[in-house]
């Protein structure tokens, strides 16, 4: 006669010894053991339950332990997350530059971010406007935690300028040739380059070692050397230096300026790790898109590696673009200036120790650091040197900032109005649409005035041929 196996039962005190404290989680654990484990497997059951309690985030989709893991993550998040209707913090809790240029919804987003239990300090730049989670133009310092949407979807979005020993007269005389070079040597949106076979970024250990990133490798390869849509661009124009800039004497020079990021690769990384963070914390409401990963967790370490790779991928894209244009020009650049503005950095601040500084649409402006702050397709872009203002968390704006959303701009701005503006400023646009019209943006001159205590202007770039998606 076959032996009848009895269902295994565990007492609450046995589960509490494993670290279970939530009553509902204890009940779920006991029920799972009774259904899926027999008496002979008690040791195995206890070991599995201990692992689930320790690494709940890894079991949320598990067929047996999924509901238990979800309850564990929710109960822990309830102990950490802010109240559903917290009192808005006073604005003095974070620095604000150009408050007259910032709308109420953007302030509300920053209020929510600064109220997180992991938040230490914050700042809002003059170009700030609403984004996912953290506002674009928002800077947030956290302790031992990274917020994927605090970095942004376009991880490592970046500015890059190459300056050539060619004068303004060269641009005037060779304008058609320069236009053709810009069209031939750049790709936007879903377009791909077919001549890039090998690149060091394709051999990175993170790309080949992390399963999720490995699945994105074909897409990364296809988009290598290309630019995104929206406000991404490659411009040819003239840069003015009022005084010597490094080894470059004062004067006016031909320059290429590009703005783009980590393409779909960065967006997929942001979505993937935000989903994991939300599952671990169980956040909802206004703070859901600010879900974070602790840096000493496996998921936090993995995101940091993915973010670093995405930033390096963005830099590689710019370098390919600039090298192609330099080759077509037959000129080596006199200098190259570049910076990220969607990224997180480990930085030490006085009286705070090491913090994670999220700059979502904000330019690093530590003392002596160089960066580029663009305006719109007809206004100047500024080469700046940071002053190291600790109140702004060593940050400045990343551009002029939107005044109208894309949808509003498409409704309100006619194409003939955009064409008239381009003609008035002697700017030729290749691609682009009215959602990127200069009228959709704030005044870059006013934005720069609002942050004069943050950066010093070292050079001014004037776009002349603008290439967009």
Give the domain ranges of the chain.
12-80, 155-264+319-331+362-467
* β-sheet bridge partners, residue 255: 163, 237
Check if the beta carbon of residue 358 is closer than 8 Å to that of residue 270: no
pLDDT grade for 2, boundaries at 50, 70 and 90: very low
Predicted TM-score (pTM) of this structure = 0.81
Check if the beta carbon of residue 155 is closer than 8 Å to that of residue 317: no
Per-residue pLDDT tens digits for 321-348: 999 999 999 999 999 999 999 999 999 9
pLDDT at 83: 44
**High-pLDDT (> 90) share of the chain, %:** 72
Check if the beta carbon of residue 233 is closer than 8 Å to that of residue 253: no
Per-residue pLDDT tens digits for 438-448: 999 999 999 99
Alpha-carbon dihedral angle through residues 182, 232, 253, 398, given to the nearest 10 degrees: -170
In this model, does residue 73 exceed pLDDT 80?
no
CA 160 from centroid of its chain's CA atoms: 16
pLDDT grade for 39, boundaries at 50, 70 and 90: low
Average pLDDT, the chain: 90
Range scoring the smallest mean pLDDT among 17-26, 83-92, 108-117, 379-388: 83-92
pLDDT grade for 25, boundaries at 50, 70 and 90: confident
CA angle 326, 186, 270 (to 5 degrees): 115
pLDDT at 420: 96
Per-residue pLDDT tens digits for 78-132: 565 444 444 444 456 899 999 999 999 999 999 999 999 999 999 999 999 999 8
pLDDT at 434: 95
pLDDT at 85: 42
Residue that has been written with the tokens 């020079």 in this structure: 253
Higher pLDDT among residues 148 and 27, named by residue: 148
Check if the beta carbon of residue 113 is closer than 8 Å to that of residue 150: yes
pLDDT at 6: 59
Check if the beta carbon of residue 38 is closer than 8 Å to that of residue 262: no
Which CATH topology does 155-264+319-331+362-467 take? tRNA-splicing ligase RtcB (3.90.1860)
pLDDT at 4: 45
Provide mean pLDDT across the span 41-57.
Answer: 81
Residue among 186, 185, 267 nearest 219 (CA): 267
């Amino acid at each position: 006669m076959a032996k009848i196996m009895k269902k295994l039962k565990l007492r609450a005190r046995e589960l509490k010894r494993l670290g279970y404290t939530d009553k509902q989680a204890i009940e779920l654990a006991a029920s799972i053991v009774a259904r899926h484990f027999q008496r002979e497997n008690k040791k195995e059951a206890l070991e599995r339950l201990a692992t689930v309690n320790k690494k709940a985030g890894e079991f949320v989709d598990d067929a047996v332990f999924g509901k238990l893991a979800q309850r564990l993550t929710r109960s822990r998040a309830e102990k950490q997350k802010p109240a559903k209707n917290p009192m808005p913090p006073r604005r003095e809790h974070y620095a604000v530059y150009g408050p007259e240029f910032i709308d109420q919804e953007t302030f509300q987003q920053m209020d929510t971010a600064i109220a997180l239990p992991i938040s230490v300090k914050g700042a809002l730049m003059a170009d700030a406007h609403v984004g996912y989670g953290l506002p674009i133009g928002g800077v947030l310092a956290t302790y031992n935690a990274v917020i994927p949407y605090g970095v942004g979807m376009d991880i490592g979005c970046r500015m890059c300028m190459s300056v050539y020993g060619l004068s303004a007269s060269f641009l005037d005389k060779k304008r058609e040739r320069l236009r053709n070079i810009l069209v031939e040597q750049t790709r936007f949106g879903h377009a791909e380059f077919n001549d890039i076979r090998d690149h060091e970024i394709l051999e990175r250990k993170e790309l080949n070692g992390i399963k999720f990133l490995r699945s994105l490798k074909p897409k990364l390869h296809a988009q290598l050397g290309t630019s995104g849509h929206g406000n991404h661009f490659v411009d040819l124009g003239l840069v003015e230096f009022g005084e010597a800039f490094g080894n470059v004497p004062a004067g006016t020079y031909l320059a290429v300026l590009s703005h783009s990021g980590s393409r779909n690769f960065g967006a997929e990384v942001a979505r993937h790790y935000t989903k994991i963070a939300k599952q671990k914390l169980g956040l909802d409401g206004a703070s859901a898109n600010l879900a974070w990963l602790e840096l000493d967790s496996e998921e936090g370490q993995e995101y940091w590696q993915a973010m670093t790779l995405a930033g390096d991928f963005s830099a590689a894209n710019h370098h390919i673009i600039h090298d192609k244009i330099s080759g077509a020009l037959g000129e080596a650049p006199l200098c190259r200036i570049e910076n990220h503005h969607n990224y997180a950095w480990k930085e030490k601040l006085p009286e705070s120790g090491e913090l994670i500084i999220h700059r979502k649409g904000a330019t690093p402006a530590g003392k002596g650091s160089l960066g580029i702050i663009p305006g719109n397709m007809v206004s100047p872009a500024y080469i700046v040197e940071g002053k190291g203002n600790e109140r702004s968390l060593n940050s400045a704006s990343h551009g002029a900032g939107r005044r109208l959303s894309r949808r509003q701009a498409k409704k309100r701005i006619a194409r003939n109005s955009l064409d008239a503006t381009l003609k008035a400023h002697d700017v030729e646009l290749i691609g682009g649409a009215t959602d990127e019209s200069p009228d959709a943006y704030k005044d870059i001159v006013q934005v720069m005035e609002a942050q004069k205590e943050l950066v010093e202007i070292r050079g001014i770039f004037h776009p002349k041929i603008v290439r967009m998606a």
